[in-house]
Amino acid sequence: MNLIFASLLTASGAAPQQPSAWPTILMFGAIIVVMWLFMIRPQRKQQKELQEFRSGLKKGDKVVTVGGIYGEIVEVNDKTALIRVDGDVKLRVDKQGLVKDYSEAEQK
């Protein structure tokens, strides 16, 4: 039916108009902006804070590993840290495995 209607319009001299692409482009642009504001930007901020935490580690800081092990830093190298877990038990962990400083949380 549409084919017949379209052929009648073209035969009469009126060409069918294409719909505008601007609303679709604007909608995709708005989706990208919203995703950036609510997903990408906060994640980058969190990654920056975590990197600053890891680069600022020093002896005596109380930290938590990714695996949930609590300890106190004894020694810090470029890529690793030696943490005291309990008594004389010490673990060498990668700095990327340290996620939180809990010494401030205990004081509150």
For the chain, helix (H) and strand (E) counts, in that order, are: 4, 5
SS3 category, 62: strand
SS3 state of residue 90:
strand
User: Domain range for residue 25?
Assistant: 21-55
Same domain, 35 and 25: yes
Q: Say yes or no: 41 and 77 in one domain.
A: no
Task: Give the predicted TM-score (pTM) of the model.
Answer: 0.64
Q: Name the band, by pLDDT with cuts 50, 70 and 90, for residue 101.
A: confident
Q: Is residue 90 part of a domain?
A: yes
**pLDDT digit string, tens, across residues 36-52:** 899 999 999 999 999 99
Mean pLDDT computed over 10-34:
80
Phi-psi region of 87 (alpha: psi -120 to 50; beta: other; left: phi over 0): left
CA separation for the pair 59, 82 (Å, rounded) = 9
pLDDT value of position 106: 57
Provide, rounded to the nearest whole percent, the portion of the chain with pLDDT above 90: 62
